[in-house]
A and B are shown apart, each in its own frame.
Chain A
């Protein structure tokens, strides 16, 4: 398995924020979503990957190149999109396209035209007059048409209306029809991440809480509704993340549901009303709350 991105024990110290021991591996051909609250360290991690911020500790490899040492070579094949990307306000989109095309020989002019149409952009428009959504799409177009092997996107769908969001997500998925292309993107919109990611990483307070296969997350986490007679205690089971009770009703959240758990509850005298799948957002919140206060589980 070829890795497009590998971070081992990466750390960075700021006066008020510390990025601790980040281990992250993104295999080639995969879409990985980085989920975390504001200030969790998502942007810092992505900037380290791009060589824009230098780590204080640990190794970073992007497309097999050590970062930041070999960033000039690595970045020819990497596209980065973030909110603070600098475009020239007084220049048109066409000017930007020609500029990028002159730097990157892989520039696919035909595909760029397709994207201009699909994104509803106008090439003669000055970038300074674009709306937020148009600017995001323009930035993304300038990256997509280079056909980079790796795309690193910091909050690409934040602030987009539903139509623009759909246009952006579908063009990302179109890019990975080539199984040698990889995407790493951050978001606090878990719906977007749930929709297009193969791998998910939860990040909170400067460290990685959990990282893994999306389908496994969705498969294993369950919310179970139980009715318990007064005086009956639920058995202590492994992988129970939280138990919230009110009256006779208890809601148990588990990170690794198994039918044997329901059997154990029934044996203990509880009635199992429902075993419900959870959304990625619910899983994320449960996981982060649990990791912040592990003793309370």
Chain B
């Protein structure tokens, strides 16, 4: 759980992944905030924040007094991931410009990164 990024972001990503790969289908009930806090030994406020963010993104819905559930993912997820991707690509483009890397080199490096990932997955 410790990869340097803020804990709530790591949590958000884990929930997104579980939803994306279908581990948690739409309507699946998430653990309560305090249950998950106890399970992961992470502060309540951090879990709360991750849930709020996931709610804002439309990944989960919270019904008061009843708990949090995975939203209708078919609608939300592809859109959500695409927006995420756009944001990362934009950040990469900005960084490349700052470092004086031309677009062709950037494309090559993106391809390298993609290849490295494919090898990781297959190995």
Contacts and interface: CB of A to CB of B under 8 A. Distances in A.
Interface stretch (A106-114, A127-135, A190-198, A230-238): A190-198
B41 A176 contact: no
B44 interface: yes
Interface of A: 29-31, 166, 169-170, 173-174, 176-179, 195-199, 213-215, 218, 271, 273, 277
A173 B42 contact: yes
Contacts, number: 50
Contacts of A195: 7, 41-43
B38 A177 contact: yes
Interface in B68-110: 98
A220 to B, nearest CB: 12
A231 to B, nearest CB: 21
Give the secondary structure class of A's interface: mixed
Nearest to A198: B45
Contact of A215 (B34, B35, B46): B46
Contacts of A196: 41-43
B24 interface: no
Contacts of B7: 195
Contacts of B35: 177
Contact of A177 (B5, B37, B43, B46): B37
6 contacts: A173-B43, A174-B38, A195-B41, A195-B42, A195-B43, A196-B41
Interface string B36-67: 01100111111001000000000000000000
Nearest to B98: A271
B45 A215 contact: yes
B40 to A, nearest CB: 8
Given A31-B44, A196-B43, A271-B98, A218 B38 contact: no
A215 B37 contact: no
A166 B41 CA distance: 8
A69 B43 CA distance: 33
Nearest to A178: B34
Contacts of A199: 45
B85 to A, nearest CB: 21
Contacts of A179: 34
Contact of A214 (B5, B34, B37, B45): B45
